[in-house]
Chain A
Amino acid sequence: AQSVTQPDIHITVSEGASLELRCNYSYGATPYLFWYVQSPGQGLQLLLKYFSGDTLVQGIKGFEAEFKRSQSSFNLRKPSVHWSDAAEYFCAVGQNTGNQFYFGTGTSLTVIP
C-alpha cells in the first residue's frame, strides 16, 4: 500500500536560515510526488510536483525538492526562509490511475526572528 512519512512533526528555523523538510514514500510504481503548504485558516496550496525527468524540481516561493529513488525520498528545501513561510507543509503521493492520493501527516514550520 502507498504511504507517505514525514518524520519531523515540527521544525523551528531562524529567518534567513536554510530549510529542509523530509519526506519518504512507499509506492511500488513510479511515484507522482507533491508538496503542498497550508497557512493558518486556509486551504492547501501546491508548491511543486514531480512526475518524471529532472529529479530536482523548482516550485513557487523559492522552494525546490529533490527526488531520490534510491532513498525513496522527496525532500523539500529552501535556501533562505522568510517569516511568511511559517505554515504546515504536506508531502503527498498520487497513484498513476489518478483516483487515489495520499498525504503525510505534515510538518509544522515555525520561523523565529
Chain B
Amino acid sequence: ETGVTQTPRHLVMGMTNKKSLKCEQHLGHNAMYWYKQSAKKPLELMFVYSLEERVENNSVPSRFSPECPNSSHLFLHLHTLQPEDSALYLCASSQDSLLGEQFFGPGTRLTVL
C-alpha cells in the first residue's frame, strides 16, 4: 500500500464503548496528525506528533487519546464519546512539520449513538 491509510473507514459506537482508529503512513514521514472534520465547520487540528513525540494537543477532551508507537503508525483511542463527536476523522502526515505538504488519509466516518 502507498500513501496514508486509515481503518476502519466507518465506525458506529455507543457512548459507553471503547474503540480505536488506526492510521498508517508508507511515506517515510516524521510527523503525523489527527484532524476532525465536522459539517459546516473548519477542519480542526487535534494532535500533532513529530518523531513519535506529541508536540501539540489543541484542547482536545481527554475522551480522545492518541498514541504514536512508531513513525509509521498513529492511533486515536476513543472512550465515552458524545454524539457531538460524530464526524470524519482525518489522519495526515508530512516530512517534518505542518508547513510541509501534508498527505491525508481518506478518513474514518464516526457515528456516536
A-side residues, CB < 8 A to B, are: 4, 32, 36, 38, 41-46, 49, 51, 90, 94-96, 98-106
Bin the interface of chain B by size: 20 to 34
Query: Given A104-B42, A105-B40, do A41 and B106 touch, yes or no (CB 8 Å)?
Result: yes
Total contacts A to B, CB within 8 angstroms?
53
B45's nearest neighbour on chain A, judged by CB, is A101
Flag B38-65 by CB within 8 Å of A: 1 or 0 each: 0011110100100000011010000000
Distance A107 CA – B92 CA, assembled complex (angstroms): 21
Is there a chain A Cβ closer than 8 Å to B4's Cβ? Answer: yes
Q: Are the C-beta atoms of B43 and A100 separated by less than 8 Å?
A: no
Q: Are the C-beta atoms of A98 and B106 separated by less than 8 Å?
A: no
B-side residues, CB < 8 A to A, are: 4, 40-43, 45, 48, 55-56, 58, 90, 92, 96-99, 101-107
Distance A49 CA – B103 CA, assembled complex (angstroms): 14
Chain A residues closer than 8 Å to B103, beta-carbon distance: 43
Query: Given A94-B98, A98-B97, do A43 and B107 touch, yes or no (CB 8 Å)?
Result: yes
Residue in contact with A105 in the complex, picked from B41, B97, B102, B106, CB distance below 8 Å: B41
Q: Are the C-beta atoms of A45 and B104 separated by less than 8 Å?
A: yes
